[in-house]
């Protein structure tokens, strides 16, 4: 399994391409903008897109999904709790994203506990409500894609519509900090980190 990172859109969202090299199948996490650029990168890798994975419904994580699916296909996977934000982007941050296109129809709603497969690579869905009601993280091997739930030295905002700070901390404590220290965290914005580093150093997680 190989991971490529593309930084897209005005909020510098990390769009991740997960490649299962043996099968040539791929998944994309959070195509926040520039769907065509992401589709070009998949084509350049000679890969077939199976899944477009959304960590949550905010526009800076979904703005490129329409173009990406139109060019490269793939099932659109969204946390059920964020269905409203996907289907009515006016309630999200869409106005901030130049060239924003409404996300495609949801092909596969998830609630946590499911897994998806690209070749022999399994991608597990972990429910982490708090930043939004339907926020999920995706785990594959040693890689954890955390969207706006967990960042290096920070956590996601919970003052946006549908956010809940207590729930967010509970999600991180019960479902993310329970993972091994060496797990690599790929957040929705900013640099990668590890669960161990965040457990030790993240100022928002001390004493939780």
Which residue, 165 or 196, has its beta carbon nearer to Zn ion?
A: 165
Q: CA 27, 125, 93, 171 torsion: positive or negative?
A: negative
- Residue that the structure tokens 């690579």 belong to: 121
Q: Interface with Zn ion includes 148 (CB under 5 A)?
A: yes
User: Could you tell me the two tokens for 97?
Assistant: 């994203």
82 is a contact residue toward Zn ion (CB under 5 A)? no
Token duo for residue 111: 């609630």
Q: Which is nearer to Zn ion, 50 or 58 (CB)?
A: 58
Tokens 């130049």 appear where? 98
Of 20 and 148, CB closest to Zn ion: 148
Is residue 58 near Zn ion by the rule CB under 5 A? yes
State the virtual CA torsion across 25, 126, 179, 187 in degrees, nearest 10.
70
The distance of closest approach from Cβ of residue 19 to Zn ion in the complex, given in angstroms and rounded to an integer, is 25
Q: How far is the CB of 185 from Zn ion (least distance, A)?
A: 16
Residue closer to Zn ion (CB basis): 148 or 168: 148
Task: Choose one: 3-11, 98-106, 142-150, 168-176; the region binding Zn ion (CB under 5 A).
Answer: 142-150
Tokens describing residue 142 = 């040693």
Which single residue is written with the structure tokens 């404590």? 173
CB of 127 to Zn ion, least distance (A): 16
Decide if 29 contacts 185 (C-beta within 8 A): no
Residue 189 binds to Zn ion (criterion: CB under 5 A): no
Run of H or E including 127: strand 121-127
Distances (CA, A) of 135 to 62, 112, 163, 181: 13, 10, 10, 22
Q: Residue 163 CB, nearest distance to Zn ion (Å)?
A: 9
Identity of the residue, 50 or 61, whose beta carbon is nearer to Zn ion in the bound complex: 61
CB of 46 to Zn ion, least distance (A): 32
Q: Measured from the CB of residue 10, what is the shortest distance to Zn ion in angstroms?
A: 14
Do 30 and 16 form a contact (C-beta atoms < 8 A)? yes
Nearer to Zn ion, 67 or 148 (CB): 148
Which residues bind to Zn ion, rule: CB under 5 A? 58, 148
């Amino acid at each position: 399994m190989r991971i490529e990172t593309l930084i897209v859109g005005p909020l510098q969202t990390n769009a991740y391409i997960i490649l299962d090299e043996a099968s040539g199948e791929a998944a994309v996490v959070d195509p926040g903008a520039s769907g065509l650029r992401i589709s070009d990168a998949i084509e350049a890798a000679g890969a077939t897109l199976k899944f477009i994975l959304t960590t949550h419904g905010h526009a800076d994580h979904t703005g490129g999904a329409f173009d990406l699916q139109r060019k490269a296909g793939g099932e659109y996977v969204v946390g059920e709790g964020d269905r409203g934000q996907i289907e009515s982007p006016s309630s999200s941050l869409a106005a901030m994203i130049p060239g924003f296109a409404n996300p495609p129809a949801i092909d596969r709603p998830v609630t946590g506990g499911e897994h998806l497969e690209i070749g022999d690579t399994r991608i597990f869905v972990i429910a982490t409500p708090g930043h939004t009601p339907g926020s999920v993280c995706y785990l594959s091997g040693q890689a954890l894609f955390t969207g706006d739930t967990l960042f290096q030295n920070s956590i996601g905002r919970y003052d946006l519509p549908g956010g809940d700070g207590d729930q967010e901390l509970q999600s991180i404590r019960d479902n993310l900090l329970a993972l091994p220290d060496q797990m690599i965290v790929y957040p929705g914005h900013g640099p990668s980190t590890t669960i161990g580093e965040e457990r030790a150093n993240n100022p928002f997680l001390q004493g939780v």
